Structure 1
Amino acid sequence: MAKDQKVERRYYTVEQANRSLPLVKAIAADMVAKFAEVKERKDRLDRIRRQKRGKGGGEDLYAEEMNEAEADLEKDLETLQGYIGELGALGIEVKDASRGLIDFYSLLDGREVYLCWLLGEEEVGHWHELEAGFAGRQSVMAGTSKGPHAGDFGGDR
């Protein structure tokens, strides 16, 4: 999908979000693993670059290996972006690729909210306002007179 191509926003009910979890879990697990790998390799390359600068230039016997490592890192970054793009194509937002924090758009009382899921959770069981973030998560099964119930969240039909 081209970067400038707009994806029509999709709204999920709690049930729809939970039905999508087998695919979402698989992509999110791959994304988290690739993120950790990319971060570790990028940190290692950054340390090597700093050490090289500290030793004052000169002939670089390992320039070819460094170039290969940087090219491999770029490929892995593209793979990571591909995972994020796959989720985006489903109308799902990745909030933290390192942890697998995922938000599904939903509707509650006519306003947009997020259904929130974190890799490792068995089901989509939380929601929050668009601006609230992870710290503002609330249970979809609040069961109070003030709180919504799972059936209150609207999605695309």
Structure 2
Amino acid sequence: MDSQHCYKPKKLFTVEEANTALPLVRAITTDLARLSLEVAGRRQRLRHVLSGREFESGDPYGDELAQVGQELEQDGLRLREYAEELRELGVEPKGATEGLVDFPSMLDGRLVFLCWRLGESEVMHWHEIDEGFTERQSLGVGSVADKSEEEGDSPA
């Protein structure tokens, strides 16, 4: 089935609306990316510590390792909450550690994503909904950003 027909966005954004929403999206995405990187690092260290280790009752580090596991579980819940906050705004978190966010939009009557990455000053790219960050294109002539201007122009 065509992904175009499966995905129902909560909201559609113009480029201007996406850029207006960026301060809040940026704040949440910053928290999401920071915690995601931190959790990934802690999980990797925990796997390293646990590799080849046999646990016996009375293990002097058992309680500490269990606590680290519980903290990772709690942080996993926080990561899901950050992602849900973004979805409630109508945007799609796409890469937690990279800080990738997509804003649903329309281009030539079809659904597309305006694409933003943490560190970029404004929304400057877009891609088809069944594509991702590596296929994104700059907003420019004939893009979502120029549609309102083009519709007002008529040949003399």
Q: Measure the CA separation in 1 of the matches of 2:26 and 2:35.
A: 14
Identity of aligned residues (%): 44
Please say if residues 13 and 106 of structure 1, whose CA atoms lie closer than 8 Å, have aligned partners that are also in contact. yes
- Following TM superposition, the consecutive aligned residue runs of length 4 or more in structure 1 with deviations greater than 6 angstroms are none
What do residues 72-106 of structure 1 show as CA deviations (whole Å, max 9, x unaligned)?
A: 11111111111111001111111110110100100
Q: Measure the CA separation in 2 of the matches of 1:26 and 1:76.
A: 17
Q: Measure the CA separation in 2 of the matches of 1:68 and 1:38.
A: 14
Within-5 A mapping of 1:50-69: 50-53=51-54, 57-59=55-57, 60-69=59-68
Partner of 2:122: 123
Within-5 A mapping of 1:7-18: 9-18=10-19
Q: Which runs of 5 or more residues in structure 2 are unaligned? A: 1-7, 149-156
Which of structures 1 and 2 has the larger relative contact order (alpha carbons within 8 angstroms, sep 6+)?
1
Distance 1:116 1:152, change over 3 A: same
Please say if residues 92 and 102 of structure 1, whose CA atoms lie closer than 8 Å, have aligned partners that are also in contact. yes
Q: Does 1:100 align with 2:99?
A: yes
Q: Which amino acid aligns with 2:10?
A: R
Within-5 A mapping of 1:56-95: 57-59=55-57, 60-95=59-94
Q: Which amino acid aligns with 2:44?
A: D
Within-5 A mapping of 1:23-42: 23-42=24-43
Distance 1:111 1:32, change over 3 A: same
Partner of 2:153: none
TM-score with structure 2 length normalisation? 0.84
TM-score with structure 1 length normalisation? 0.83
Please say if residues 14 and 144 of structure 2, whose CA atoms lie closer than 8 Å, have aligned partners that are also in contact. no
Give, in angstroms, the shift of residue 14 of structure 1: 0.2
The structure 1 residue matched to 2:143, chosen from 142, 148, 157, is 148
Between the two proteins, the alignment pairs up a number of residues equal to 140
Please say if residues 101 and 118 of structure 1, whose CA atoms lie closer than 8 Å, have aligned partners that are also in contact. yes
Q: Which runs of 5 or more residues in structure 1 are unaligned? A: 1-6
